[in-house]
Amino acid sequence: MAEVTLPSLGESVTEGIITQWFKKVGDVVARDEALFEVSTDKVDSEMPSPATGVLTQILAAEGDTVQTGAVVCIIDESADASAAAPTGAAPTPTPAAAPTSLAQPQSVDGTVTNGLILSPVVRRILADGEVDPSTVTGTGKGGVITRRDAERAVALGPTEEIVLAQSNGHRRMGAYLSVSAQVVPHGFVAVEVDASFAATLDAAGRITEEGFTLTDEVVVAMAAVRALRDFPALNAYYLDNEIVLQRSINIGFTRHEVDDAMLVPVVHAAASLSTALLARRVSELDARNAARQLNADDLMGATFSVARAPSANTLTHQPIIVQPQVAVLSIGAVRTVPVVVDRDGTPAIAVGQRVVLGLSFDHRVCDGVVAAAFVERVGALLDDVAAER
């Protein structure tokens, strides 16, 4: 018998949530075949089977939180493909029904109606009460409508309130950032800087020789890397009333996920990169993120973060610091605006480009004056960075 344990999932990760089993008790499993999916506060990963045989026991159900090193299932390596689940084996957890906004799953004992899984009893109660199932909020696992939900809906009629279950990623993000907001004395400054670098890039072309895009985010991030050399206290962490400066500058790039969660992929040792190479690294991280192939190393070790504009109309935004970092730079949308210029000593109105850069900072390591000076330094470096190809 092979005991399958939850492996180490990265530095500082001590537990994970079993989100999905790809096999059920009695199934034949091949070595290295995907066995189950585990979700941590860093990344979601598919766990391969360490052995070939028949899955005889599942010891952790979907939704269970499991410590690393704990046994989650048993594989009988001596069994053959015709082996059946042994008597008394733990039943395979039934996957939760998908929310109504997702594709319809299939159910053995339920009926799919307008994308909802309804048991025969629930379907009959709602039909007899002439209640549209889409108006009922399910309180069962995964949003399934229970018999009590159906009876209450018939008795009270449809409710205008809609309760949405949080995704694992959104729940973890909220819990983590709530702690940061409570522990760190946040400060924030916002500075409008010249963004003519954007027009320069548009005119010269934003595609590098390797075929990657020099985005506004990449240019600002590289300018921040250069500025951090003069403001080392912002590339640090706070510990026991001491500020610990970090030698490597590892830049995190905030990414909004479809389930309203947030990931922060990291470009390590960014100070040694050119602007074009930084564009390549960011593009590669985005591609792996889109394919859900980021690993724990891709999400760990950031010493400073940048947060791009959430929309093309965002002037500025105030992100929460991701501990143990002490600052995060926000980037507003680049805008074409009227600006005052000097023409032979006479003020005149001209068309220019501006962007608002903001810095959320830990008041234990600096104040607003230092924070504003750092942001202004970033703005002053933008043209030089954009000129590097």
According to DSSP, the residues that pair with 243 across neighbouring strands are 238
Q: Which tokens in the block code for residue 52?
A: 């070939």
3-state DSSP assignment of residue 332? coil
Give me the pLDDT at residue 216, please: 96
Q: Which tokens in the block code for residue 89?
A: 């084996």
Q: What is the pTM of this model?
A: 0.64
pLDDT digits (tens, 9 = 90+) for 217-247: 999 999 999 999 999 999 999 998 999 999 9
pLDDT digits (tens, 9 = 90+) for 141-198: 667 787 788 888 888 765 556 677 777 778 888 888 999 999 999 999 999 999 999 9
C-alpha dihedral sign at 375, 378, 383, 386: negative
The better pLDDT of the pair 204, 139 is held by: 204
Please check the confidence at residue 53 and state whether its pLDDT lies above 90: yes
**What is the number of other CB atoms lying within 10 angstroms of the CB of residue 145?**
26
In the chain, the domains with their CATH numbers are 2-76 (2.40.50.100), 111-156 (4.10.320.10), 169-387 (3.30.559.10)
C-alpha span between 220 and 207 (Å, rounded) = 16
According to DSSP, the residues that pair with 46 across neighbouring strands are 37
**Any idea what the Cα angle at residue 229 is, between residues 196 and 296, rounded to 5°?**
95
C-alpha span between 329 and 376 (Å, rounded) = 12
pLDDT digits (tens, 9 = 90+) for 117-151: 666 677 888 888 888 888 888 887 667 787 788 88
C-alpha span between 3 and 18 (Å, rounded) = 16
**Any idea what the Cα angle at residue 196 is, between residues 195 and 202, rounded to 5°?**
110
pLDDT digits (tens, 9 = 90+) for 351-372: 999 999 999 999 999 999 999 9
Give me the pLDDT at residue 103, please: 31
